[in-house]
Structure 1
Amino acid sequence: MDKELSFEEALKGLEEVVESLERGDLTLDQSLDFFEKGVGLTKFCSDSLEKAEGKIEIIKEEAGKSVIEEFNYSNEGEE
């Protein structure tokens, strides 16, 4: 691939692969090629989703720390 594929492009490509395979008008070799492409796109999408989930967890952890620090800071003078 010349350019970095986006998740949305990969998902669209995967949908096209599935549609082509479902039509049933491909030769065996074409079907195998499409299947191989679909497996690669599936892995790419899965990896992309795992990265996104990891980022979300990091953001949630950082936001949680900020809320706790802010709560501790605002309660320091109340004792």
Structure 2
Amino acid sequence: MFSQNYAVSEIPEELKKDANYVVRNNSSEYIIKAENNIELKKKIIISILSKAGEGGSYVYIPYDKYSKISDVKI
């Protein structure tokens, strides 16, 4: 795994202009372990730039009786 630089100073000014938050990374990886067993790894990195951008930091993890949630890091 490579080191990532998520310093706000590295965000281009044209992306920060009038922005409340910036999504730095939004990736999904699906791993099929068996016909009825699929693992989803989701990674989202957000830089909050203002008080109004705090809404971008809410975490929502949908699930149902067939889902299992584990290893959540915030």
TM-score by length of 1: 0.23
Q: Counting helix residues as a fraction of each chain, which structure ranks higher?
A: 1
Which protein is bigger by CA-based radius of gyration? 1
Q: Which has the higher contact order (CA 8 A, sep 6+)?
A: 1
TM-score by length of 2: 0.25
Q: Counting strand residues as a fraction of each chain, which structure ranks higher?
A: 2
